[in-house]
């Protein structure tokens, strides 16, 4: 089950993915196209072309977990200016706002201290 928290890295795949892909297809994109390993606690996020379907796949140590959300109305909005390259890391806050339909172009984050990853 997908749990959104600060201790997890969220990787957003920039090219649009086929919404019909499941565990093997999505993990294949991670290993073959992104040249990354499905590490424990990393979540890889994929959107379809219309940005109405979101899939997140995570290796849970003993198997893959898959989260799938299909919007009945509207579309998911991606963080502004991150679409260079094949993938980028997003924060747990950004993922929550994407899932809840908050406009990321208008959202302003006030400065806060953040602990460096890996400490």
Break the chain into its structural domains and give their ranges.
Answer: 10-100
Q: Residue 5: its pLDDT value, please?
A: 84
Total-model pTM: 0.83
Q: Which residues of the chain fall below pLDDT 50? A: none
Sign for the pseudo-dihedral over CA of 37, 59, 103, 73: positive
Q: Residue 81: its pLDDT value, please?
A: 67
What does the H/E/C string look like for 46-76?
EECCCCCEEEEEEECCCCEEEEEEECCCCCC
């Amino acid at each position: 089950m997908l749990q959104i928290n600060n201790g997890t890295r969220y990787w957003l795949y920039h090219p649009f993915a086929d919404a019909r892909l499941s565990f093997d297809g999505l993990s294949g994109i991670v290993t073959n196209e992104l040249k990354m390993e499905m590490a424990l606690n990393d979540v890889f996020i994929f959107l379809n072309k219309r940005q109405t379907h979101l899939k997140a796949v995570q290796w849970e140590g003993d198997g893959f977990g898959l989260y799938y959300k299909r919007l009945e109305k509207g579309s998911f909005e991606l963080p502004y200016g991150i679409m260079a390259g094949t993938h980028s890391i997003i924060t747990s806050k950004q993922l929550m706002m994407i899932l809840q339909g908050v406009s990321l172009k208008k959202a302003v984050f006030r400065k806060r201290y953040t602990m460096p990853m890996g400490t």
